[in-house]
Amino acid sequence: KKGHAAILACMERSIDFYPDAFINYLNKMLDNSSKTVTREPSLRAAVIQVLRHIISRPALEPRLKPYKDHLIATIKLAQGDTDWRVRCAIASCVVAMGSSSIRFFDSVGGHDLLTFIVKSAAITEASPGAEELRDSARNTLALFSTGGRLDAFLWPFLLEHFHEHTAQPGLLTALPTIARCLVQIASRVSQSDAYYVDFGVSVNVPKPHQLAAKLMVQAMQVDSAVYSNEELHTILEAMM
C-alpha cells in the first residue's frame, strides 16, 4: 500500500508540473485505435483509476480546470470498452467528476458520461462484473440526486431517457432509479424557474402528456415481475 500511495503521489506532482505531457500520455495509453498496439484491459482500467485519483484531489483542481475538456475526451476513449473492469473504473471516475468543484458535466462530452451511468444502471446481465457496475451506477445516480449540487446537469437531462426506452427497452430496468432521482431533484427545483422546461431547447425531453403516459404504462405493471411494489410506488410518485 505504501508503494501504491507513493506512486500516486509522484503522479500528483507530475501533473502539477507537466499537465499537458501527463494527460497526453494517459490519452495514448487509452487510445486503442492503433491496429499494432493493444492495451490490456487491466492496464486501461488502471489508467482510468489514475485519472480518478487526480480528479478527486482538491489541491489539483486549479491545475486541472483548464484541461477538463481534455480529461473528458481521454476518459471517453474507453467508454466503448466491453471489459467490466474498465467500465467499473469509468463509473468511479464519473463519481469523482461529480464530486469535484470543476464543472465537468457542462463540458463537451459531459452528458455522454452521465448517459453511460444511466445505461449502466439498466444492465440486466447476471455476472459479478455486470452486477458490480449496475449497483455502482445506481448508487452514483442516487448520490448525484442528493444535495442539489448537480441539479442543473440532471434536470431536465434525466427526462430524456424516457424518450430512449422505446428504442432501448433495457433502459426500463433503471426506470425506478431514474424516477427516484427525479422526485428528489424536482422537490428542490419546483420553486425556481429552472423547473420549467423549454421544449424548444430540450428537444429530447418528452412533452408532459407523453411523459405522463409513459409513467402510467409502467405504473400499471402490477402483475409483472419487472418492478417491485416499492419501485411501482416510486414511479407513481414521479408522476405527481
Please tell me the distance from the alpha carbon of residue 68 to that of residue 75, in angstroms, as a whole number. 11
Mean pLDDT over the full length of the chain:
83
Confidence category of residue 199, pLDDT binned at 50, 70, 90: confident
Tens digit of each residue's pLDDT (9 = 90 or more) over 3-46: 788 888 888 888 888 999 999 999 988 887 755 556 788 989 99
Question: Where would I find the H helices in 2-57?
Answer: 2-17, 19-30, 41-55
Cell of 174: 433503471
Whether the ω angle into residue 156 lies within 30 degrees of 0, i.e. cis, is yes
Angstrom CA distances, 237 to 5, 14, 29, 50, 212, stand at 46, 49, 45, 40, 11
Would you state the pLDDT for residue 90? 96
- Do 231 and 215 meet the contact criterion of CB atoms below 8 Å apart? no
CA atoms within 13 A on the CB side of 237: 19
Which pTM was predicted?
A: 0.85
Would you state the pLDDT for residue 186? 83
Would you state the pLDDT for residue 219? 65
| 205: amino acid identity, one letter | V
- Do 155 and 186 meet the contact criterion of CB atoms below 8 Å apart? yes
Would you state the pLDDT for residue 168? 61
Would you state the pLDDT for residue 207? 81
Largest CA distance in the chain: 60
Higher pLDDT, 80 or 88: 88
Tens digit of each residue's pLDDT (9 = 90 or more) over 162-196: 766 555 666 777 888 888 888 888 888 888 888 78
Residue recorded with cell 462530452: 109
Q: Is the pLDDT of residue 116 over 90?
A: yes
Q: Is the pLDDT of residue 231 over 70?
A: no
Q: What is the mean pLDDT of residues 133-161?
A: 90
What is the C-alpha R_g of the chain?
19
Would you state the pLDDT for residue 237? 59
Would you state the pLDDT for residue 62? 93
Confidence category of residue 210, pLDDT binned at 50, 70, 90: confident
